C-alpha cells in the first residue's frame, strides 16, 4: 500500500503537517528575532506536534472503530493539547522585581499550538488567517499603542529644609523610595555652603540644612511633597523647578 493510499497518511496529511511547519516557523522566527526565551525551534516543534496530535486524533483509531460498538470523539485529543500546553506556557512566565514577564511569549506559544491543530484538522485557511493576525498583533499593535494616552512621569526639583543631626536625611530618602520616586542630583547646603552628598551620610552638625534634589516618578509630585512634609524634623518643602510633567 503506497503512502497516498494508507488511511490518514496521504499527501493531504503531509501537506497539513508542512503547512503547520511553515506557519509555526514564521511565528517562531518573529520571536527569535526579538530574542525571546522561546524561539524558532520551540514554536516550530509546538506547531508541528499539535498538528500531528490532531491527525492522530482524526485517523489514528480507524482500525479499532466498529459502527455501533466503538465510538470515539476526535475532539478529545484537541482538548488535551490545549491543557497540556500549560507547562510550556508556565515555563516562559517569570517575575522579576514585581514585574511579570513572558506573558506574550506564553500566549504566542498557545496560539502556535492552535495553528498546528487547525492545520491538522484541515482548516488551512483559518490557520493562515490566524498567522497573519499574529503578525498584525505583534507589529501593528505596538505602533497603535503609542497614540494611546498614558500617564506621563512626574518630574520636579524640590528644596527640603530640615534639622540636622537627627537622622532626617535617611528618613527623607526612605520616604522617596516608599513613594516610588527616583532621586538624582542631590545638593546639600549648610549655612549657605554646598556639601558633598556621599552614600547618604549626614553633613556635620548644623542647625538647619537645605537640600535640593531632582525627583521623578509616576505619582503626582504633590504626593511626595506631602509625604516629605510629614517626616519628623522637616521644616519646609517646596518646588524650585517644575518640569511640567506632573
As a whole number of angstroms, the distance between CA 54 and CA 122 comes to: 9
Name the E strands within the chain.
Answer: 94-96, 99-101, 154-163, 181-190, 193-195, 208-217, 234-242
Q: Which domains does the chain have, with CATH numbers?
A: 11-145 (no CATH), 154-242 (3.30.70.260)
185-232 pLDDT, tens digit per residue, is 888 887 654 454 444 444 444 478 888 888 888 778 888 888 888 888
For 46, counting Cβ atoms within 10 Å of its Cβ (0-12 exposed, 13-18 middle, 19+ buried), the class is buried
Q: Helix, strand, or coil here: 246?
A: coil
Contact 225, 157 (CB under 8 A): no
Contact 203, 223 (CB under 8 A): no
Q: What pLDDT, on a 0 to 100 scale, did the predictor assign at position 203?
A: 44
- Residues 117, 119, 122, 126, CA torsion sign: positive
CA-closest candidate to residue 54, choices 88, 82, 27, 26: 82
Terminal-to-terminal C-alpha distance of the chain? 76
Quickly state the pLDDT bin for 99 (edges 50, 70, 90): low
121-176 pLDDT, tens digit per residue, is 888 888 899 888 888 888 888 888 777 766 666 788 889 998 887 888 888 888 88
Query: What mean pLDDT, rounded, does the chain reach?
Result: 77
Provide the angle, in degrees to the nearest 10, between the axes of the packed helices 221-229 and 168-178.
150
Quickly state the pLDDT bin for 79 (edges 50, 70, 90): confident
Amino acid at each position: 500500500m503506497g503512502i497516498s493510499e494508507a488511511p490518514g497518511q496521504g499527501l493531504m496529511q503531509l501537506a497539513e503537517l508542512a503547512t503547520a511547519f511553515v506557519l509555526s516557523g514564521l511565528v517562531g522566527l518573529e520571536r527569535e528575532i526579538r530574542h525571546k526565551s522561546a524561539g524558532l525551534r520551540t514554536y516550530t516543534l509546538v506547531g508541528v506536534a499539535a498538528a500531528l496530535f490532531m491527525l492522530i486524533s482524526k485517523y489514528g483509531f480507524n482500525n479499532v472503530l466498529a459502527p455501533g460498538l466503538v465510538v470515539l470523539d476526535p475532539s478529545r485529543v484537541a482538548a488535551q493539547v490545549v491543557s497540556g500546553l500549560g507547562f510550556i506556557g508556565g515555563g516562559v512566565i517569570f517575575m522579576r522585581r514585581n514585574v511579570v514577564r513572558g506573558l506574550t511569549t506564553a500566549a504566542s506559544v498557545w496560539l502556535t499550538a492552535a495553528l498546528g491543530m487547525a492545520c491538522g484538522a484541515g482548516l488551512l485557511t483559518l490557520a493562515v488567517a490566524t498567522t497573519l493576525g499574529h503578525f498584525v498583533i505583534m507589529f501593528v499593535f505596538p505602533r497603535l499603542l503609542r497614540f494611546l494616552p498614558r500617564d506621563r512621569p512626574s518630574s520636579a526639583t524640590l528644596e527640603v529644609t530640615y534639622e540636622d543631626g537627627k537622622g532626617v536625611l535617611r528618613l527623607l530618602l526612605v520616604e522617596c523610595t516608599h513613594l516610588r520616586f527616583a532621586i538624582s542630583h542631590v545638593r546639600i547646603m549648610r549655612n549657605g555652603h554646598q556639601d558633598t552628598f556621599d552614600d547618604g551620610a549626614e553633613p556635620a552638625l548644623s542647625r538647619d540644612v537645605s537640600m535640593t534634589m531632582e525627583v521623578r516618578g509616576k505619582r503626582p509630585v504633590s504626593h511626595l511633597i506631602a509625604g516629605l512634609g510629614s517626616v519628623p524634623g522637616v521644616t519646609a518643602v517646596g518646588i524650585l523647578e517644575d518640569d511640567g510633567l506632573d
